[in-house]
Amino acid sequence: MGSATQADPAKQPLLVANAIDNRPALRFDGIDDRLVLAEDLFSSASIPLSVFAVYRSNDHQGHLFGTGAETAGEFTKTGFAVGLAASKPFVKARSISSGTWLLSPENVKQQGPQILGVNVTASGSSIRTGCTLTTDTTTPAPLDLGTTYIGGTHDGSESFAGDIAELLVYNRTLTTTEYNSVWNYLSEKYDIDTEEPVDIDNNGVFDDCDNDSVYLKAPEITVTLEQPDALKESSLASVIDAASPTVFDRHTTSSHVWAEGETIFYFDLQADYELNAIHFWNFNEENYDVDAIQFLFYDSSETLISQISVEPQIGFEDILAEDFAVDVDNVRYIRAILTGSNGQVEFQNIGFSGEREDISP
């Protein structure tokens, strides 16, 4: 792929000798570290393209590899790159309102080293992480920004925090055999355990670790407001209306949920679930966002069985969900207590994922 350089010593990533499985990696600080490639590998004329990355990160969002947006606030909207958004890997080949955008549902946090595999073609693109393969037929339309970066965009914004051990780029579409061969090579080299994605339960999700989990939203579940007496703006319907855990929920005065003071919602899942994830779309400004949430889980008799507290990240751009892993059985009701440091509570959506427990296999 040519040489990657950084003339400013303060912006050079650190070479760590035994970063991933006793192999070296570059450690990016998440502030301003980035490398510039001599060759632009992610031009609009470079499609089709196959990209692989081996990395480790607990970052919420950041640019891994490719061309970044030239305008602040358009990290996911323009250019041709792979990166992290809302703690999930993504690939973009976009020109603001058109082009390919694919987001993996798998979180990168606390999962050790990972492999990311991407195919971008005119007829269909895909992103694979772990045991999930996400596909789409949208025609790529990348904005040609002229320079390929590793670890950060042209001005250092959206910098990646974590280790990058290996990047591979192919200027063509790999066959399935070739793709799997590269994936297996990286898996063995860095001792990363992954399985080939398979739709084992015929639900349309290529996920061999599929656990029959379903995403819970309206109208399958309901929500009531316990505190305050009323929302300041929008309606309860906006709390649980996101179509899936990986969709954008753009902030508008009708789509958001805004209240003053400590805010308490009570959810009825309408059945008993083994809950495995909470999805939360926070507001994208510090002065109104949700700073902390306490979730309390109840069984069908409304007996408290478990609880967790989380501090969600600020949302960004056309807001994506941050996921919080949970493992609680027999959940029928959930109480969520939301607080903000300045007395304001504003967010876009709350959703849950779990496996229904009263259905026989």
For residue 261, what is the domain's CATH number?
Answer: 2.60.120.1190
The answer to whether 257 touches 228, Cβ cutoff 8 Å, is no
Query: Do 182 and 122 belong to one domain?
Result: yes
Q: Is 65 a member of any domain?
A: yes
Same structural domain for residues 228 and 199?
no
* 154/276 same-domain check: no
Residue 123 lies in a domain: yes
pLDDT tens, position by position, 76-114: 888 999 999 988 999 999 998 899 999 998 888 767 899
* 202 and 282 housed in the same domain: no
- Give the pLDDT of residue 112: 84
Residue 245, class by beta-carbon neighbours within 10 Å (0-12 exposed, 13-18 middle, 19+ buried)?
buried
Task: Retrieve residue 89's tokens.
Answer: 């890997």
What are the C-alpha distances in Å from 313 to residues 116, 163, 235, 261, 285? 23, 21, 23, 19, 10
Q: 267 lies in which domain range?
A: 214-356
Confidence grade of residue 203 (pLDDT, cut at 50, 70, 90): confident
Residue 221 has pLDDT above 80, yes or no: yes
Do 97 and 174 have their domain in common?
A: yes
What is the rounded end-to-end Cα distance, in angstroms, of the chain? 50
CA distance 278 to 142: 32
What string of DSSP letters covers 320-332? -PEEEEEEEEEEE
Q: Which residues pair with 108 in a beta bridge?
A: none
Count the Cβ atoms, other than its own, within 10 Å of residue 312.
21
Most confident of 144-153, 266-275, 312-321: 266-275
Work out the burial of residue 207: count CB atoms within 10 Å of its CB; fewer than 13 is exposed, 13-18 middle, 19 or more buried: buried
Query: Does residue 82 lie within any of the structural domains?
Result: yes
Q: What angle do CA 347, 349, 351 make, to 5 degrees?
A: 140
261's tokens: 């003071």
Contact between residue 67 and residue 180 where contact means Cβ atoms under 8 Å apart: no
Residue 361 lies in a domain: no
Give the least confident one: 118-127, 148-157, 229-238, 240-249: 148-157
Whether residues 199 and 127 share a domain: the answer is yes
How high is the mean pLDDT of the chain?
A: 91
CA distance 186 to 195: 13
Q: What is the pLDDT of residue 332?
A: 98
Which of 207, 231, 252 represents a domain boundary (last residue)?
207
Task: Out of 185, 207, 229, pick the residue that ends a domain.
Answer: 207
Tell me the percentage of the chain whose pLDDT exceeds 90: 73
Sign of the CA dihedral with 352 first, then 320, 238, and 260 last: positive
The dihedrals phi and psi of 79, each to the nearest 5 degrees, come to 100, -170
CATH number of the domain residue 107 falls in: 2.60.120.200
- Are 180 and 42 in a shared domain? yes
Number of domains comprising the chain: 2
Same domain, 195 and 258: no
pLDDT tens, residue by residue, 111-140: 789 999 999 999 999 999 988 899 999 999
Q: Is 297 a residue whose pLDDT tops 60?
A: yes
SS3 77: coil
Considering the domain architecture, whether residues 176 and 271 belong to the same structural domain is answered as no
Q: What pLDDT is recorded for position 156? A: 63
CA distance 175 to 48: 12
Lowest mean pLDDT among 107-121, 179-193, 301-315: 107-121
Q: What is the mean pLDDT of residues 347-357?
A: 95
Rounded to the nearest 5 percent, the helix, strand and coil shares of the chain are 5, 45, 45
- Considering 207, 236, 253, which residue would you say is the last residue of a domain? 207
Q: 10 by DSSP, 3-state: which?
A: helix
Contact between 240 and 333 under an 8 Å Cβ cutoff? The reply is no
Does residue 348 register a pLDDT over 90?
Answer: yes
H-assigned helices in 136-175: none
Among 21-35, 151-165, 167-181, 335-349, the least confident range: 151-165
Q: What is the pLDDT of residue 60?
A: 86
Provide the pLDDT for residue 360.
Answer: 46
- Whether the per-residue pLDDT at 361 is higher than 50: the answer is no
Neighbours of 274 (CB within 10 A): 17
Q: Are residues 95 and 70 both part of a single domain? A: yes
Both 182 and 42 in one domain: the answer is yes
Report if residue 342 sits inside a domain. yes
Looking at the fold, whether 286 and 162 belong to one and the same domain comes out as no
